[in-house]
Amino acid sequence: MKRDSRLSSVLHALLHLAEHQAPMTSEALAKCMATHPVVVRRTMGMLRAAGLVASARGHAGGWRITADLAAVTLRELHDVLGEPAVFAIGNRNETPGCLVEEAVNAALDDAFAQAEALLLERFARITLADLAADFARRHAERRAQDHERGDRDAL
């Protein structure tokens, strides 16, 4: 099964937009995400419909964030993307033809529902601001490492 990576994509895009204050074109976003500009427009279009980003055409156009980073959770983005199916595993028939299948479906559905609830609850606790902060931390760490390496090389 091919995994839906749109949530990952939009997070990547939104954080890049948060770094830039100028709008970024679909082409620029596509390049840094190794995908196609049309895919970017298609996916970002859903965020625009939800009022999280804005786009402008023509020269100096592109995408920019309009939402508050601290107010947007992964859960909201998941919803904005249409709440795609979370699991790659599922029941053979959703409408059971026999009682055996009914019992099997009930057990699996229950377990999946619990796992999905946990996942969405975790998503609801993570904001774009959290990710941006984590990025900043990694960035500082990387710079510190580079610096250390530079010192060592300079000996």
Partner DNA sequence: TTTCATGTAACTTCATTTATTACAAATTAG
Partner DNA sequence: CTAATTTGTAATAAATGAAGTTACATGAAA
- Binder among 57, 150, 151, 155 for DNA (CB under 7 A): 57
- Of 60 and 155, nearer to DNA (C-beta) is 60
Residue 42 binding target from a second copy, DNA, none, CB below 5 to 8 Å by type: DNA
Nearest to 33 by CA among 12, 62, 61: 12
What binding mask, one character per residue, do residues 58-97 give for DNA by CB under 7 A, x or -?
xxxxxx--------------------xx------x-----
What binding mask, one character per residue, do residues 92-131 give for DNA by CB under 7 A, x or -?
x---------------------------------------
DSSP string for residues in 23-70: -B-HHHHHHHHTS-HHHHHHHHHHHHHTTSEEEE-STT-EEEE-S-GG
* Residue indicated by tokens 């609850």: 121
Structure tokens at 65: 């964030």
- What's the one-letter identity of residue 48? R
In the three-class reduction of DSSP (H, G, I as helix; E, B as strand; rest coil), residue 97 is classed as coil
Question: How many residues sit close enough to DNA to count as binding (CB under 7 A)?
Answer: 34
The answer to whether 9 touches 43, Cβ cutoff 8 Å, is: yes
- What's the one-letter identity of residue 121? E
Q: Considering only 42-50, 68-76, 104-112, 113-121, which stretch makes contact with DNA by CB under 7 A?
A: 42-50
Q: Does residue 37 interact with DNA by CB under 7 A? A: yes
Structure tokens at 115: 């796992």
**Which residues of this protein are in contact with a second copy, per CB under 8 A?**
1-5, 7-9, 11-12, 15-16, 19, 32-35, 74, 84-93, 97-108, 110-112, 114-116, 118-119, 122-123, 126, 130-131, 134-135, 138-139, 142
